[in-house]
Copies of this chain bind each other. A is one copy, B any other.
């Protein structure tokens, strides 16, 4: 038996509100109906700095399996938080990009991160994606420590580059070329996090070749002091 397989999955199947709904008018409950499944929010996190391909997402989310990633991308597309585009002819591949509404999930990542940073169980030495690190800068930035600072800090992590722009008490981050950076950090996200959040001296990290700093070294040192962690609960 088991020869009949008419299991062509239809959009209707995927769209019907995931069968297991909270059935609750509360906005937070609806948000959980939309993106409360495992991995969903982390997929969005990885897309916060622009489109990525399927395999990029798999690489940046160690632990997610291909079928689960497929399901989450389908669901996020169905609810309108994500769009799937075909790349121009040469590349026969697809990219996934958040919609404008999808990008608005950023404050959720911010407040969740700030809350969890006070958890006694939080282990900041675990692995970290580049997107997570950049988001953590926007989240943990302390404007009062950056008074009068106007600087462009570059990051080279894997084959991606990011520019963090600190000016007027604000801290922006974008995935872009490093033109005009005053200083560049190169290395794994983990090593940079060790410097910024773990208090590891830059010199030590450079000595063990976990991190390279190119450019204004004093600025690099100052940068690492701009993101204080909150007190544990």
Please list the residues of chain A having a beta carbon within 8 angstroms of any beta carbon in chain B. Answer: 17, 22-32, 34, 36, 38, 41-42, 45, 62-63, 79-80, 99-101, 104-105, 107-129, 132, 135-136, 139, 190, 193, 233
Q: How many copies does the complex hold?
A: 2
Interface contact B22-A42, CB-CB below 8 Å? yes
- Known: A28-B116, A116-B30, A132-B29. Contact between A23 and B111, CB under 8 A? no
Closest to A121 in B: B79
- Known: A116-B30, A122-B30, A233-B99. Contact between A128 and B25, CB under 8 A? yes
Interface contact B24-A119, CB-CB below 8 Å? no
Closest chain B CB from A90 CB (angstroms): 32
Interface contact A42-B31, CB-CB below 8 Å? no
- Known: A99-B233, A105-B115, A115-B105. Contact between A122 and B27, CB under 8 A? yes
Contacts of A112 in B (CB 8 A): 27-28, 31-32, 108
